[in-house]
Amino acid sequence: MKVAINNIMVSIEKDQKKALIKEIEKRGIRKNNIGHIEYEKKSIDSRKKKDIKLVYNISVTLEKELDLNRLNNVSLINEKIFPKRKVKDNMGKIAIIGTGPAGLFAALRLCEYGYEPLIFERGKKVDERHKSVDLFYTMDQLDEDSNIQFGEGGAGTYSDGKLNTRIKSEYINKVFKELVDHGAQKEIMWDYKPHVGTDVLKDVVKNLREKIISMGGKFYFETKMTDIDVINGKIKKIEIQNKNKSRESIEVDHLLLCIGHSARDTYQMLHERGIYMENKAFAVGARIEHPRADIDRMQYGDYADHPLLGAATYNMAYNNKAEERGIFSFCMCPGGEIVNAASENGGTLVNGMSNSTRDGEFSNSALVVAVKENEFGEELFSGMKFQRELEKKAYDTISNYGALYQRAEDFLKNQKSSMEIESSYKMRLESHNLNDFFPEFISRNMKMALEHWGKNKYFLSPRANLIGPETRTSAPVRITRKESGDSVSVQGVYPVGEGAGYAGGIMSAAVDGLKIVDLVFTEVIE
């Protein structure tokens, strides 16, 4: 018999295991009847800074069955029954473009069903990709196909490896389990804000690749899809180009587009070949960086540095009701660093990442303003054009792949910062008045939000700095698909994940990959 007990609150001053046993006993379950205890969710309640608690949802396997009516706030756990699926016959040749979470999990699922997909990735394998990134940081030599955005694992590999998501899906536990089975920390199964970290994700991605290969999948790295052939409204061939620039045409019956949100050349080619797309809202702004100690103190008070808490996170949001526009923090990286996320020559931008320990000196987050889908015109790619123009403007301002900075207090005062700053950013930083850099509506809304959040002395302090620009929060277009999973314009083409505009992060992209495979290549058995 397995039961659930939720919302157990335990002070961080207490021995957590002993306190949990006592809480279970309070619900009417004797100690000798407690079998196996599993965490289902663990979070932090820091609303009272002098009495911070860990909050647990747990499942308990009982040695003997009990009458639940005699227990306090205990519920029976029924085993979830998922629909049985049958693999469709004669589906033909399947190609996947991209090895981010959507592409990898789509490939894994296809292999589980007995298919042998061809997986094409414009970037390098993760170890070689890491060398490309290091060369960029040290020598300013950008490889446009192997960088923070492109390469094995996708853009999420060089982030915090955050796995929190707002979506509800039967596939979420599947993703968590696969990540743990392939090297991620088991704690991600229950942490309220799970993360893996770039250092661990690199190994997880390699292990997933090896698993897929062992099941029949075939990977082609440093191989970019450069064209598609559509006949009578159906995909027939793709053209691929390898690292030697030689091209080859391959017949395919099904094409999964897991291209990521930065594949601008691929977007353009697909549009020219009749793949329907539409503009989509996204967000633009800068990174805000603080000493990690300040954010820990802001969130945990005197309990900052407590071993049970780790580096503190935050989530900020402000709504400009007059403009119906949101301003929010995004991709918060506690104990992390700000990195240059360029993928095109002559354009510079930033992102955040952290390793599994999250023990760096600084914490950072994007501070971004929502950009509506047709803010810059009805023409397709108007948002993408805006992103690119900001990135080029930043590059031209600095004359290299550095970043612009301004103290948050100076940004509010509309004055250029006269002093140098301490930062995790490893490339060149140049002081600039970001009010003059961003369009007026971006800087104005950023200031409105900062003034609101700045009521907390730690958040808006002399040590808070803005570093930017941050432009690649999500895809600026959606490759529209039907309920069947197909592109609305071409049969056999399936837009998947973040680059298609149907996900926003590692978890939702991985889930989308699994979901589309089940939808297209299997059928539910009644």
Report d(CA 318, CA 270) in Å as an integer.
Answer: 36
81 located within any domain:
no
In this prediction, residues 165-184 reach a mean pLDDT of 88
Residue 79 predicted with pLDDT over 90: no
* C-alpha separations of 365 from 328, 339, 347, 420, 503 in Å: 10, 12, 21, 20, 20
H runs (alpha helix) in 221-378: 264-272, 292-300
Considering its fold, how many domains does the chain have in total? 3
Report whether 264 contacts 344 (CB < 8 A): yes
Average pLDDT over the chain, rounded to an integer: 95
Within this chain, do residues 462 and 502 fall inside the same structural domain, yes or no?
no
Long-range CB contact pairs, 383-390, < 8 A, 24+? 383/279, 383/280, 383/282, 383/476, 383/477, 384/264, 384/267, 384/476, 384/477, 386/284, 386/476, 387/282, 387/284, 387/471, 387/472, 387/476, 388/264, 388/344, 388/347, 390/284, 390/349, 390/438, 390/469, 390/471
Within this chain, do residues 46 and 106 fall inside the same structural domain, yes or no?
no
365 located within any domain:
yes
Cross-strand pairs, 216: none
Within this chain, do residues 253 and 351 fall inside the same structural domain, yes or no?
no
Kindly indicate the confidence band of residue 167, based on its pLDDT and cuts at 50, 70 and 90: low
Report whether 479 contacts 140 (CB < 8 A): no
At 81 the pLDDT is 80
At 168 the pLDDT is 67
At 288 the pLDDT is 99
Question: Considering 52, 76, 100, which residue would you say is the last residue of a domain?
Answer: 76
Report whether 164 contacts 368 (CB < 8 A): no
Within this chain, do residues 271 and 295 fall inside the same structural domain, yes or no?
no
Report d(CA 72, CA 68) in Å as an integer.
Answer: 8
For residue 234, count other CB atoms closer than 10 A to its CB. Answer: 13
Residue 48 predicted with pLDDT over 90: yes
160 located within any domain:
yes
At 191 the pLDDT is 94
Predicted confidence (pLDDT) per residue in 366-399, tens digit: 999 999 998 888 899 999 999 999 999 999 999 8
Within this chain, do residues 293 and 309 fall inside the same structural domain, yes or no?
yes
At 52 the pLDDT is 98
Residues 6+ apart with CB under 8 A from 103: 96, 97, 119, 121, 154, 256, 258, 496, 497, 513
Kindly indicate the confidence band of residue 307, based on its pLDDT and cuts at 50, 70 and 90: very high
Residue 92 predicted with pLDDT over 70: yes
Kindly indicate the confidence band of residue 175, based on its pLDDT and cuts at 50, 70 and 90: very high
Within this chain, do residues 47 and 97 fall inside the same structural domain, yes or no?
no
- Six-digit token pair at 118? 């061809």
Within this chain, do residues 228 and 147 fall inside the same structural domain, yes or no?
yes
In this prediction, residues 297-317 reach a mean pLDDT of 96
Within this chain, do residues 401 and 442 fall inside the same structural domain, yes or no?
yes
Kindly indicate the confidence band of residue 82, based on its pLDDT and cuts at 50, 70 and 90: confident
At 166 the pLDDT is 65
In this prediction, residues 236-261 reach a mean pLDDT of 97
Residue 161 predicted with pLDDT over 80: no
Domain ranges, residue 299: 281-470
In this prediction, residues 448-469 reach a mean pLDDT of 95
Report d(CA 94, CA 101) in Å as an integer.
Answer: 17
Write out the H or E segment, with its range, that includes residue 343: none
Predicted TM-score of the model (pTM) = 0.95
* C-alpha separations of 82 from 85, 140, 158, 160, 174 in Å: 9, 50, 33, 31, 12
Residues 6+ apart with CB under 8 A from 463: 290, 291, 294, 422
Within this chain, do residues 285 and 272 fall inside the same structural domain, yes or no?
no
Report d(CA 511, CA 516) in Å as an integer.
Answer: 9
Within this chain, do residues 110 and 127 fall inside the same structural domain, yes or no?
yes
336 located within any domain:
yes
At 525 the pLDDT is 85
Report d(CA 47, CA 482) in Å as an integer.
Answer: 44
DSSP state of 114: T
Report whether 303 contacts 310 (CB < 8 A): no
Report d(CA 183, CA 174) in Å as an integer.
Answer: 14
For residue 442, count other CB atoms closer than 10 A to its CB. Answer: 24
CATH number of the domain where residue 41 is located: 3.30.70.2700
What DSSP assignment string belongs to 354-381? --TT--SSEEEEEEEEEE-TTTT-SSTT
